[in-house]
Chains A and B, each alone.
Chain A
Amino acid sequence: MGRTAPTYRQALEERLKRWDEFARLLTTPEDRAAFDLVRTAARRYVAQATYVGSPDLLESILLSVLTDLAGKLASSPAARGSSR
């Protein structure tokens, strides 16, 4: 409906489409699976990124992916072992 600027959600999907080109030249299944994780992570914090309303799309995507990664790290067995 007649909005001027694309929503964060739209801008993100647009950017992810561009990233597909990157994924096409990934050669191992492990790399491709890892890339899929990044893509999912980028989509995870749409609400939070929209709330910030940063003009820098990449900042929002990075924050989203980093938060997701940090969360996974913190809950991984290695991290739990070292904190003990």
Chain B
Amino acid sequence: MGGPSPPHDGWLLDITESSDGRSVVLWVKERQSGRVRRTAVEFRPPFFVTGPRAELSALAGRLRGLPVVASVELGSGRLSLFDARPRPQLSVVPAENPGRRALARTIDALGRYEAFTLYDVDLSPPQLYHLAHDLYPFAPVTGKGAELRATEPAETIDYAMPPLSVARFEIALKGERRGRLPPPDGRIGSVRVGDLTVEGEDEASVLRALVDELARSEPDVLLSRGGDAFDLPWLYRRALACGLTPKEFVLGREPAPFRAARPARSFESYGRVLYRSALYPLPGRFHIDRQNSFLFDDSELAGLVDAARLSRLSLQTVVRQSPGTCFTAMEMAEALRLGVRVPWKKNRPEEFRTGEELVAADRGGVIFLPPVGVHDRIDEFDFASLYPHIMVRKNLSAETLECRCCPKSPIRAPGLGYRSCTRRRGLIPRTLAPLLERRLAYKAALKQPGLPPARAEELSRRVKMLKWILVTAFGYQGYRNARFGRIECHEAINAYARELLAALLAEAERAGYRVVHGIVDSLWLRPIDPDRPPEPEEFARNASERFDLPLSYEGRYRWIVFLPAVTHGLGVPNRYYGLYEHGEYKLRGIGGRRHDTPGLLRRFELEVLDLFRRAPDAEGVRALLPRALARADLFAAKVRELSWPVDELVISHRLGQPPSAFVTFTDSVAALRQLHDAGAVRSAGEIVRFVLLDRKSRSFRDRVRAAELLDGSERYDADAYLELLAREAETLLAPLGVRRAELLERWGVAEPLPRAPYRSPERRAQRSLPGVPSG
């Protein structure tokens, strides 16, 4: 790494769509002046249609002359990765960029949804502009307007971060504390921009002063907590109420409408219902809402800039989307570089298979059940980015699997027999290989001595972001909507991984290890002869060589506790905590790792872990049990005397369904009803937070208190929290013989009484929320 970068005049911050519908706007931060220059460039990219030649020419005839179509051109080309020879194609330029999708839908309908295959429809004009001009977000650039060129390729590993000015951003309502429910007409009293606070008596002048301050200090990034859900919509709402127009009240670098560009929505991911706030883009400026960003927490700006460069997606998109979206965009960029186009809808059905074949093929990785209990002298080994490495090594990609050109290919998925192409490299391996290289380069750079801390931080953020993207690369192979995914690839990857782990088990035994636990790409091993333990680094090196995949030694545990399932008492693969010899904890599946754990339980867990930190081995952990129990008793006593602060007792619950769909009266429903009465509506995937006041109560007013309505004087339900505490203690200490029932008896918690019959005055309406829209 290293070397001087060629001279540049500035940095391309972003490309946005222009409101005229016929051009894109390039936002360039000048190097000399530090000012941001706006240039509009005419750009109306085509999308493509393939199908039978006769139907295509008929279609061309119908489209010509339509006002929504600028031009139509009949030609031929290889648009798909699967095309062996050129096919007839139609390139269609819509009259206005925003009309792209509508026009594509019409064409699809004209072909009765089967005659035509469409390409490049849902790539945005800014994305296509980047790709067509070898540009990318945060590129160092020279030239102007349509002549703007990057001075180095996007894949450059050792690049300088563009100088972005970042300002914290937060509004405060007059007489209101943040986090409480604001009144519907709550006036904005002050706005914080960076180190400055704009305030005043008159709301309209505060808003005007804010616009002036933004124009003066020119921040590139506004960083908020909850800005998408609260600050921005509230600002626009109050601006409207004060009679300001979008032309006057500009938070970006050019006027934008006061409404959301994309509404809030609930969606499902990996079996969980999630919620994403609305999007209010600020053209020419970025707004990052830490609460509406999955990636920001782990990757910060350094990681996000890296992701934006590689995916050619605007920072404001990257920050709000999943790593999977970034990976898909990287695949698209790679596809366009290969000269093919991006299919609009995935049009590749799964091959037919018998039930037996399906059972054999549709299996995940190897996951052992760990032996419940406290163990010591355990060495842990991980394959770094195992699945991406397999995809690259075995050339696994939709178009290279079971290809026609290599019927005799020696690369076959174990047990399944799927062949990989030996003649051309697949799209997925092409996309992944540079990412893997990049991650290794960053990791190597991190190990250099004398690295400035700021640079180290930057690199480790990029490593984390890449890790996320690499993780999703595998998952997307099995996702039915993934553009370049194919379920057979997903199966093949798993088959290679299973085979690998099985071979590694034998290798470990030969080296003198006993296998204690294993999950997909990680192994926990114990020396068979404690007096002559194998040399772990050497084992990792040998295995890496033997399997041609990087196995790394994660470290030795002083001790590790594998936790049991509540239901059957056998070990749970991913629930454990252990202390490495280098003094760091590894925690999986216990409370502190989860965001929704009440402070009380998190604190208890910390105390226990802090106590166990002194244990040198498994015996030491067992010896500390009485002291851990004494801590639990102390906690219990304090909870019992009602002196625990209520904000440490807040329970968070993510709504798995819209509020109107609940049919039983739960704590969450009680909290939802309180919020509803106070004028606040929640949607599926949003989080409802509350404190338990009387878990036996049948009245939604008395059972809980929603966190937004707390005033600090509430009397909480001690028994309910003692029960939670007992459950937490059992989770952590069950392998040491601690039982919840015994703890509860010791703390004098009565068995919960059977519920009293309905008596509350609200009994009719409180089980569900009929009037609440489902979001």
| Chain A residues near B (Cβ < 8 Å) | 1-5, 7-8, 39-40, 43-44, 46-47, 50-51, 53-55
Q: Using a CB-CB cutoff of 8 Å, which residues 478-492 of chain B contact chain A?
A: 478-480
Q: Using a CB-CB cutoff of 8 Å, which residues 318-371 of chain B contact chain A?
A: 355-356, 358-360, 362-364, 366-369
| Residues in A whose Cβ lies below 8 Å from that of B479 | 1-2
* Cα-based distance from A54 to B360 in the complex (angstroms): 7
| Residues in B whose Cβ lies below 8 Å from that of A43 | 369, 568, 570
Q: Using a CB-CB cutoff of 8 Å, which residues 56-103 of chain B contact chain A?
A: none
Whether the pair A1, B356 counts as a contact (CB closer than 8 A) is no
Which residue of B360, B480, B518 is within 8 Å of A53 (Cβ)? B360
Given contacts A1-B271, A4-B358, contact A47 B364 (CB under 8 A): no
Whether the pair B478, A1 counts as a contact (CB closer than 8 A) is yes
| Residues in A whose Cβ lies below 8 Å from that of B568 | 39-40, 43
| Residues in A whose Cβ lies below 8 Å from that of B355 | 5, 55
Whether the pair A7, B360 counts as a contact (CB closer than 8 A) is no
| Residues in B whose Cβ lies below 8 Å from that of A40 | 568-570
| Residues in B whose Cβ lies below 8 Å from that of A39 | 568
* Cα-based distance from A40 to B369 in the complex (angstroms): 12
Given contacts A5-B355, A40-B569, A43-B568, contact A50 B360 (CB under 8 A): no
* Cα-based distance from A40 to B415 in the complex (angstroms): 29
* Cα-based distance from A13 to B41 in the complex (angstroms): 61
| Residues in A whose Cβ lies below 8 Å from that of B480 | 2
Whether the pair B364, A7 counts as a contact (CB closer than 8 A) is yes
Given contacts A1-B270, A40-B569, contact A55 B360 (CB under 8 A): yes
Q: List 5 A-B contacts (CB under 8 A).
A: A5-B362, A46-B369, A50-B366, A51-B498, A53-B415
Which residue of A1, A2, A44, A50 is within 8 Å of B363 (Cβ)? A50
| Residues in A whose Cβ lies below 8 Å from that of B358 | 4-5
| Residues in A whose Cβ lies below 8 Å from that of B570 | 40, 43-44
The 7 lowest CB-CB distance pairs between A and B, nearest first, are A47-B368, A55-B356, A5-B362, A53-B360, A55-B359, A5-B358, A5-B359
* Cα-based distance from A40 to B571 in the complex (angstroms): 11
| Residues in B whose Cβ lies below 8 Å from that of A54 | 359
* Cα-based distance from A67 to B519 in the complex (angstroms): 22
**Interface assignment of B502: CB less than 8 Å from any CB of chain A:** yes
| Residues in A whose Cβ lies below 8 Å from that of B569 | 40
Among residues of A, the one whose C-beta sits closest to the C-beta of B475 is A1
Whether the pair B502, A44 counts as a contact (CB closer than 8 A) is no
Among residues of A, the one whose C-beta sits closest to the C-beta of B568 is A43
| Residues in B whose Cβ lies below 8 Å from that of A1 | 270-271, 478-479
* Cα-based distance from A4 to B363 in the complex (angstroms): 11
Whether the pair A51, B366 counts as a contact (CB closer than 8 A) is yes
Most B-side CB within 10 Å, residue of A43, A50, A53, A54: A53
| Residues in A whose Cβ lies below 8 Å from that of B367 | 46-47, 50
In addition to A43-B369, A44-B570, 17 A-B residue pairs with Cβ atoms within 8 Å of each other are A4-B362, A5-B355, A7-B364, A8-B363, A39-B568, A40-B570, A46-B369, A50-B366, A50-B367, A51-B363, A51-B366, A51-B502, A53-B360, A53-B415, A55-B355, A55-B356, A55-B360
* Cα-based distance from A5 to B367 in the complex (angstroms): 18
Q: How far is the CB of A45 from chain B (nearest CB, A)?
A: 8
| Residues in B whose Cβ lies below 8 Å from that of A51 | 363, 366, 498, 502
Given contacts A1-B270, A2-B480, contact A53 B363 (CB under 8 A): yes
| Residues in A whose Cβ lies below 8 Å from that of B364 | 7, 50
Which residue of B360, B368, B478 is within 8 Å of A2 (Cβ)? B478
* Cα-based distance from A4 to B360 in the complex (angstroms): 12
* Cα-based distance from A53 to B198 in the complex (angstroms): 65
* Cα-based distance from A64 to B581 in the complex (angstroms): 36
Whether the pair B369, A3 counts as a contact (CB closer than 8 A) is no
Q: Using a CB-CB cutoff of 8 Å, which residues 263-322 of chain B contact chain A?
A: 270-271
Most A-side CB within 10 Å, residue of B366, B568, B570: B568
Q: How far is the CB of A56 from chain B (nearest CB, A)?
A: 9
| Residues in A whose Cβ lies below 8 Å from that of B478 | 1-2
* Cα-based distance from A8 to B355 in the complex (angstroms): 14
Which residue of B271, B359, B366, B415 is within 8 Å of A47 (Cβ)? B366
| Residues in B whose Cβ lies below 8 Å from that of A50 | 363-364, 366-367
Whether the pair B366, A7 counts as a contact (CB closer than 8 A) is no
Q: How far is the CB of B173 from chain A (nearest CB, A)?
A: 42
| Residues in B whose Cβ lies below 8 Å from that of A55 | 355-356, 359-360
Q: How far is the CB of A63 from chain B (nearest CB, A)?
A: 15
Which residue of B359, B366, B369, B415 is within 8 Å of A44 (Cβ)? B369
* Cα-based distance from A36 to B773 in the complex (angstroms): 47
* Cα-based distance from A50 to B362 in the complex (angstroms): 10
Q: Using a CB-CB cutoff of 8 Å, which residues 400-434 of chain B contact chain A?
A: 415
* Cα-based distance from A4 to B488 in the complex (angstroms): 13
* Cα-based distance from A47 to B518 in the complex (angstroms): 9
* Cα-based distance from A4 to B490 in the complex (angstroms): 13
* Cα-based distance from A41 to B502 in the complex (angstroms): 22
Among residues of B, the one whose C-beta sits closest to the C-beta of A45 is B369
* Cα-based distance from A55 to B340 in the complex (angstroms): 41
Most B-side CB within 10 Å, residue of A2, A7, A47, A55: A47
Q: How far is the CB of A26 from chain B (nearest CB, A)?
A: 18
* Cα-based distance from A82 to B358 in the complex (angstroms): 46
Whether the pair B366, A53 counts as a contact (CB closer than 8 A) is no
Whether the pair B359, A53 counts as a contact (CB closer than 8 A) is yes
* Cα-based distance from A39 to B479 in the complex (angstroms): 34
Q: How far is the CB of A55 from chain B (nearest CB, A)?
A: 4
Among residues of A, the one whose C-beta sits closest to the C-beta of B360 is A53
Q: How far is the CB of B485 from chain A (nearest CB, A)?
A: 11
Q: How far is the CB of B479 from chain A (nearest CB, A)?
A: 8
* Cα-based distance from A43 to B739 in the complex (angstroms): 23
Q: How far is the CB of B130 from chain A (nearest CB, A)?
A: 32
* Cα-based distance from A39 to B480 in the complex (angstroms): 36
Q: How far is the CB of A59 from chain B (nearest CB, A)?
A: 12
Q: How far is the CB of B348 from chain A (nearest CB, A)?
A: 15
Q: How far is the CB of A43 from chain B (nearest CB, A)?
A: 6
| Residues in A whose Cβ lies below 8 Å from that of B518 | 47
* Cα-based distance from A8 to B366 in the complex (angstroms): 12
Per-position 1/0 for B134-171, Cβ under 8 A of A: 00000000000000000000000000000000000000
Per-position 1/0 for B641-675, Cβ under 8 A of A: 00000000000000000000000000000000000
* Cα-based distance from A53 to B355 in the complex (angstroms): 12
| Residues in A whose Cβ lies below 8 Å from that of B271 | 1
* Cα-based distance from A44 to B355 in the complex (angstroms): 25
* Cα-based distance from A40 to B570 in the complex (angstroms): 8
Among residues of B, the one whose C-beta sits closest to the C-beta of A8 is B363
Per-position 1/0 for B463-503, Cβ under 8 A of A: 00000000000000011100000000000000000100010
